[in-house]
Amino acid sequence: MNIEQILDRFRHIAVIGISDKPERASNSVSKYLIHAGYTIYPVNPGLKEIFGITCYPSLPAAAERHPGTIEIVNIFRQPDEVDEIVSEAVEIGAKVIWMQLGIINEDAAEKARKAGLDVIQNRCIAVEHKQLFG
């Protein structure tokens, strides 16, 4: 599936590594996604809520609260942390792994693809959405 199809078809996005600091990309990208009509599931063990939305300590915790809902796992973490996130994404039945700008992990990407997930690396989901639908 290409980026346009992914962004058109899937509307539920877990944001791994969301920050409550407005200057952080994870914060502004998440705000953009909400305004674009997506439902986000913030994941950061240090936050209780953000933008009035419950924040979850982990992807499995978010998936437990919203079973079968999370389609895209949008990652704002270091590349060496992606492998574990991919394992969790496969386990919860996600459809897409999206690694934000600057995040590339070929081994994790291959693992996700082998499990049937689409993979986007080193791209900003908000920038891609703006270019396609903005």
Section 83-112 average pLDDT? 98
Section 66-76 average pLDDT? 98
Section 21-25 average pLDDT? 97
The DSSP secondary structure of 56-93, one letter per residue, reads BSSHHHHHHHSTTT--EEEE-S-GGGHHHHHHHHHHHT
Under the banding of pLDDT at 50, 70 and 90, the label for residue 134 is confident
Among 3, 1, 29, residue whose Cα is nearest residue 15:
29
The vertex-56 CA angle with 125 and 9, nearest 5°, equals 35
Q: What is the pLDDT of residues 32-65, one digit of tens each?
A: 999 999 999 999 999 999 999 999 999 999 999 9
Buried b (16+ CB within 10 A) or exposed e, 48-78: eebeebebbebbebbbeebeebbbbbbbbbe
Q: What percent of the chain has pLDDT over 90?
A: 99
